[in-house]
Structure 1
Amino acid sequence: EDALLEDLTHELSILDSTPEQKCETTLLIHPRVLSDFMDYNAFLDVAERKVDSLGLRGEIQIASFHPRYQFAGTTPDDIGNYTNRSPYPMLHLLREASVERAVAAMPDAAVIFERNIETLRRLGPDGWRQMFPQA
């Protein structure tokens, strides 16, 4: 985890110091650590504290993805969890300004998230397995 935190710190610094026109976002994919979702979830707190300690709150936000992602209040097999699942544990570093522009372009941005979950629910586990047999 120490190496991952170093990588995160480095990527946050690069994203902050690089003009938006050159680099809008960063994916930090870490296939060899945090395979347990609870460990990963605990690391998210560490990651958010790092954003704060670098003075980047309000500038950069972290979106999280994990092979076993589970939203609070859901069961592990809830198909809605797949909106935040990925092949490996991953942190998506996003510029807040970019997120704000996207939200302005889609006034009811929450609809996108809700629509994604509804689509997955209609697809169901069998439909998901047909589309992604290796998942």
Structure 2
Amino acid sequence: MNAIRSKRHRSIIAVWVAIGMALIIPYLIWCAWLSLLSTEGDVPAASSLAFPEGAAIAADKSCGSGGCWSTFTVRPGEDSSTTELTSYLETTYDGQVSGSFWDPRTINFTTEIAGNTVVVTASYWITYD
């Protein structure tokens, strides 16, 4: 009886290990794919930064030596100001947005007030101090 129970127990453990490996290996391949095949031309999308609801966003991609970056010109919603938007982004993220499960790359960014808009410059490759 114990031999049968022990054999069944080992089979259950083997099935769970196989399921775990079937889930982990594709994710590790995906992370390796992002790391190995990413280029300096990769830039973050506006959806990577959680801009407040109601903000109007215009995006642009620029490149120079050392990589490419996204420039988002953000007009705050009617209920907030450019100072509040800049403060929100800087205190919430402190200049970096950690990667997500689907894209584990870290996004570095800066903010600058330009009239009634906030200019956010974001990149995977360039570190802003």
Higher-helix-fraction structure: 1
Q: TM-score, normalised by structure 2?
A: 0.35
Higher-strand-fraction structure: 2
Rg comparison, structure with higher value: 2
Q: TM-score, normalised by structure 1?
A: 0.34
Higher relative contact order (CA 8 A, sep 6+): 1
